[in-house]
């Protein structure tokens, strides 16, 4: 962990706990504990690995500091975007019928579907309230602008989710539809993090646009990379092949590329669900049809575009370097 992360990450965790403590009232303790469990603070398997990487709040604070702002003052916004992300994970897990997240039982598995939906709703409400806490350091106008950016990205999130769920039933998807979906599902919130961070940093609109675009392309790159790893990543290929997106049936970029080739892969995919022992053969077939190279090239292209926008924003000093490093680390690149 870098020095900057060593300062930011505990502060993020602290602010998240402060926000969730709105529910830390005697008659609501079990409710509070559901959210604290999901956030990785309590219960079986709690700790760093259960908390996720907190990438979104890090991007927000780094963008703020790089634009000359006080990252401490921006902490409520950092907590807010992480809570939005986690609200969407909680509902996602119910929608996808996923029993585990980060190696632990999901919230609905432990407390049932109705409480799971409500816990997700609560995370979302608290994200709204957290953002309004900015008022202690920023003007009402700035808080409103941040709210518009965040809520607009949340609407995009539900649009992306609608598309993702509706794609499951379709076999005629074209690549353009993939980009519309992941722009909503992944890129919108990451873009909002960078936009809100630079807004709170106090920079001009042109620079904010550069940060917003940096976040947008970084989000797309991140999703493509995730899709790539869902088929050719270690855990997808070896040992636990049930984790492969080929088995779960997820419509990811490599799969969509393969479907558009209308070759042997497409034929097999449309033929019904795929078992774990077909994974190795089928991922090789997909690679032979060009999907692996295409996905790698696409991830590289999106990353390069993101870094171009970041260079144009020209974030100074250690914090600026940290932003470049974080983007590269996210994409599995060294420096």
* Binding footprint of its own copies, residue count (CB under 8 A): 46
Q: Which is nearer to its own copies, 252 or 303 (CB)?
A: 252
Asked if 107 and 87 count as a contact pair (C-beta separation under 8 A), the reply is no
Of the residues 3, 141, 172, 204, which one makes contact with its own copies according to CB under 8 A: 141
**Half-sphere exposure in the Cβ direction for 100 (13 Å, CA):** 8
Among 10, 48, 100, 135, binds its own copies (CB under 8 A): 135
3-state secondary structure of 331: coil
CA 194, 199, 201: angle at the middle one, nearest 5?
A: 95
Taking the complex as a whole, how short is the minimal distance between the CB of residue 186 and its own copies, in angstroms?
15
Going by C-alpha positions, the residue among 231, 308, 314 that lies closest to residue 63 is: 314
Residue of 2, 72, 147, 305 interacting with its own copies (CB under 8 A): 147
- CA-CA distance, 90 to 126, in Å (whole number)? 14
Contact 252, 245 (CB under 8 A): yes
Residue 317, Cβ neighbours under 10 Å: how many?
9
Q: What is the spatial distance between Cα 237 and Cα 58, in angstroms, rounded to a whole number?
A: 31
Cβ contact 77:148 at 8 Å: no
Listed ranges 59-67, 140-148, 237-245, 259-267: which one lies at the site for its own copies (CB under 8 A): 140-148
For its own copies, the closer of residues 128 and 308 by Cβ is: 128
SS3 (DSSP) at 80: helix
Q: Are the beta carbons of 63 and 309 closer than 8 angstroms?
A: no
Shortest distance in whole angstroms from residue 122 CB to its own copies: 4
Nearest 5°: phi and psi at 334? -100, 105
Site string for its own copies, 152-191 (x = CB under 8 A): x-xx-xxx-xxx-xx----------x--x-----------
Least separation in angstroms between residue 178's CB and its own copies is 12
Q: Which of 10, 68, 102, 113 binds its own copies (CB under 8 A)?
A: 113
From 119-127, 262-270, 274-282, 311-319, span contacting its own copies (CB under 8 A): 119-127
Closest to 249 measured CA to CA, from 139, 134, 171, 141: 171
Smallest separation, CB 175 to its own copies (Å): 14
Distance in angstroms (rounded) separating the CA atoms of residues 28 and 24: 7
Mark the segment that binds its own copies (CB under 8 A) among 107-115, 225-233, 248-256, 270-278.
107-115
DSSP codes, 213-241: HHHHHHHHHHHHHHHHHHHHSHHHHSS-G
In whole angstroms, the minimum distance from the beta carbon of 35 to its own copies comes to 10
Residue in 38, 56, 85, 91 binding its own copies, rule: CB under 8 A: 91
Nearer to its own copies by Cβ, of 164 and 289: the residue is 164
Between residue 7 and residue 66, which ones bind its own copies under the rule CB under 8 A? 22-23, 27-28, 30-31
Separation CA 330–CA 87 (nearest Å): 22
User: Does 251 sit near its own copies (CB under 8 A)?
Assistant: no
Considering only 21, 49, 100, 139, the residue that binds its own copies (CB under 8 A) is 139
Residues within the interface to its own copies (CB under 8 A): 22-23, 27-28, 30-31, 91, 94-96, 112-115, 117-118, 121-122, 124-126, 128-129, 132, 135, 139-141, 143-144, 147-148, 151-152, 154-155, 157-159, 161-163, 165-166, 177, 180
């Amino acid at each position: 962990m870098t020095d900057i992360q060593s300062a930011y990450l505990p502060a993020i965790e602290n602010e998240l706990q402060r926000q969730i403590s709105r529910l830390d009232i005697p008659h609501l303790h079990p409710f509070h504990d559901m959210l604290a469990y999901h956030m990785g603070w309590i219960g079986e398997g709690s700790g760093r690995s259960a908390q996720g990487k907190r990438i979104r709040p890090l991007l927000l604070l780094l963008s703020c500091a790089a634009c000359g702002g006080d990252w401490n003052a921006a902490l409520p916004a950092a907590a807010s975007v992480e809570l939005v992300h986690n609200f969407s994970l909680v509902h996602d897990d119910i929608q996808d019928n996923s029993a585990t997240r980060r190696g632990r039982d999901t919230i609905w598995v432990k407390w049932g579907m109705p409480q799971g939906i409500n816990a997700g709703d609560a995370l979302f409400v608290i994200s709204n309230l957290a953002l309004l806490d900015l008022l202690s350091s920023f003007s009402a106008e700035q808080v409103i602008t941040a709210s518009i950016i965040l809520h607009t990205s949340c609407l995009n999130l539900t649009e992306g989710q609608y598309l993702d769920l509706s794609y499951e039933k379709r076999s005629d998807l074209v690549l353009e539809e993939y980009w519309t979906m992941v722009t909503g599902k992944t890129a919108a919130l990451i873009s909002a993090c960078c936009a809100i961070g630079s807004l709170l940093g106090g920079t001009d609109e042109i620079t904010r646009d550069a940060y917003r675009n940096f976040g947008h392309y970084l989000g797309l790159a991140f999703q493509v990379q995730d899709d790539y790893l869902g088929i050719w990543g270690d855990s997808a290929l070896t040992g636990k092949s049930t984790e492969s997106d080929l088995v779960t049936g997820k419509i990811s970029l490599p799969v969509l590329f393969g479907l558009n080739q209308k070759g042997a892969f497409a034929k097999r995919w449309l033929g019904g669900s795929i078992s774990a022992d077909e994974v190795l053969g089928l991922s090789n077939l997909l690679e032979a049809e060009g999907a692996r190279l295409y996905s790698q090239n696409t991830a590289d292209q999106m990353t390069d575009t993101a870094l171009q926008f970041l260079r144009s924003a020209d974030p100074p000093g250690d914090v600026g370097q940290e932003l470049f490093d974080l983007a590269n680390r996210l994409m599995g690149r060294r420096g």
